[in-house]
Structure 1
C-alpha cells in the first residue's frame, strides 16, 4: 500500500449548501468550514468528504459524453422506497433512465453530481 484515502473532494458552486446535503444524506458532521471549502466526516473520522468551491462550475449531465460524471458515490440503504423520498426532500433529483431498477437508483445531488442509492443485495451482486 502506498497510501490511504484521505478525502473525496467534490467541486461545486456553493460549498456550504452541498455539504449540508451530504451531511444529511450520510450522517456527517462539518469539521472545517473555510471560504472556499467545507470538510465533513463521520463520527469515527473514517469517512470524509471535502467540498471545494469552483467559480465556473459546470455540472455533469447524466449520460452526456460532452459533460460526463468523473466519479459518483454509491450510498447503501436498507430500502430504496423508504430512502427515495428522503433524498428527494433534501434536494436530489431522480435521473432519467434510472427507471427504478431493482437494487439501485440513480440521482443527482442539488448541483448535478450523480450518486446511487444501492441496497445490500445489489452490492453483493455487483450492482
Structure 2
C-alpha cells in the first residue's frame, strides 16, 4: 500500500470543528478537586449535643456559632479562641451589631459553671440574644 501526496490536490481549509477533549480533561480535573475539597471544608468540632424538641426555623443569614467542647475549648465558627477576648472577636464578626443572635452549642458533659461563665462574657460584651443549640431528634 502506498500513499501519494499530490501538491495540486491538497486544499488548505480551516478546521471548523471544536476540539472538546482538552475541555473535558479540564472539567474532570476540576470535578476531582471539588470532590476532594468539599468533605475537608465541612469539618466540624466533635460535640455530643443534647436533644431539642422545638420546631426548626429557616435561617435568613449566616449564623454566628459559638461552641464549647468537652475539653472546655471555646470555638467561634471553626476557629479556636486562644486567650482572645470573646467580646471583641464577636464584634468583628457582627460589625458591633448587638442585636445579632449568637448560637451557642455546648457539649452535654461540660459543667454548668463553664456554660454560665461564657454566657456572662457574652452579656458583658452586650450580646443578650443567645440561642442554645441542640439535636433535633434522639440518637438511637
TM-score by length of 1: 0.28
Greater share of helix: 2
TM-score by length of 2: 0.26
Instruction: State the structure with more CA Rg.
Output: 2
